[in-house]
Amino acid sequence: MIQRIKKYKFQFLFFALLILVLNPLVSAIIGIPNALLVLLNFTLIVIAGFLAAERKIPKILTLVVGLTTLASVWLEFFIPSETVWTDSRMWSSLILFMILAFILIRNFIDTVEINVNVLCGAMAGFILLGLVGGVSFEILESNQPGSILLSAESGAYDFYYYSFISLVTVGYGDVVPLGGIAKSLSILISLTGQFYMTIGIALIVGKYLNNSSRE
C-alpha cells in the first residue's frame, strides 16, 4: 500500500489538495461534515507531502511542520473556543503550504521528462499557491480586522475563495480588499498566478520539444 502511494505520490497530493479547495462541494456530495473532511484532507496532504519530499532537509521540515499543523487542526476542531489553536493552525499551515509548493515547483523545474506525475505535481503547486494566499488573507484579517470586506455570512473559506479568484485574475467584486496590505497582497497573488502559468507552460513546451528531438 505504501509503495503504491509513493509511486503515485504527486497524483495523491494533487487530489488531496483539490478536495481541500473544493471542500464545501465535496462535503455536500458525499455527506461528510466540512470540518471533518478538512481534518481528513490535512492528514492526507501531510502524508503525501512527506512522500513527495526526496531531499533530507525538506523531508524533515515537511514532517515537523506537517505534524504541528495536524495537531493544531485537530485541536482547533475539538477545542474551537481556544484561539491559540486557530493561530497555530494558520501559521503552521502557511509554512507547510510554502514548503510543499517549493518542493513541487523545484521538482517540476528539475525534471527532464514530462509525464503524468510531473503534470500533477505542477498543478498541485498551483493549488498550493492559492492556499498560501488564502492563509495569508486569513492571518491578515485576524490581526487587522476590516482589511477585507466580506458578507455577514462569510467564513474562513471565503479567504481561500478570494485568493484563487485573484490567482486567476477573475474579479467578481463580492470580496473586496480595503487596506493597503490587503490590496498589495491581492496584486502579489495575481502576479504570481500569471507568472506561474506563463513560465509553467513555457517549461512544459520546452521539455516536450527536447524529449521529441531526442527521440
* Position 41 pLDDT exceeds 90: no
pTM: 0.90
Predicted confidence band at 39 (pLDDT cuts at 50, 70, 90)?
Answer: confident
Give residue 121's pLDDT. 86
- Best mean pLDDT range from 3-7, 8-12, 53-57, 130-134: 130-134
Q: Which residues lie below 8 Å from residue 205, measured CB to CB, with a gap of 6+?
A: none
Instruction: Compute the average pLDDT of residues 176-196.
Output: 92
Instruction: Calculate the alpha carbon distances from 34 to 13, 138, 145, 157 in Å.
Output: 19, 18, 24, 10
Tens-digit pLDDT profile for residues 54-86: 788 888 899 899 999 999 988 888 887 788 999
Query: Residue 116 has which C-alpha cell?
Result: 503524468
Res. 179: pLDDT tops 60 = yes
Does pLDDT of 92 surpass 90? yes
Residue 199 has pLDDT above 80, yes or no: yes
Which is more confident, 172 or 176?
A: 176
Bridge-partner residues for 148, per DSSP? Answer: 177
> What confidence category does residue 97 fall into, taking pLDDT thresholds of 50, 70 and 90?
very high
Instruction: Break the chain into its structural domains and give their ranges.
Output: 2-214
User: What pLDDT score was predicted for residue 22?
Assistant: 93
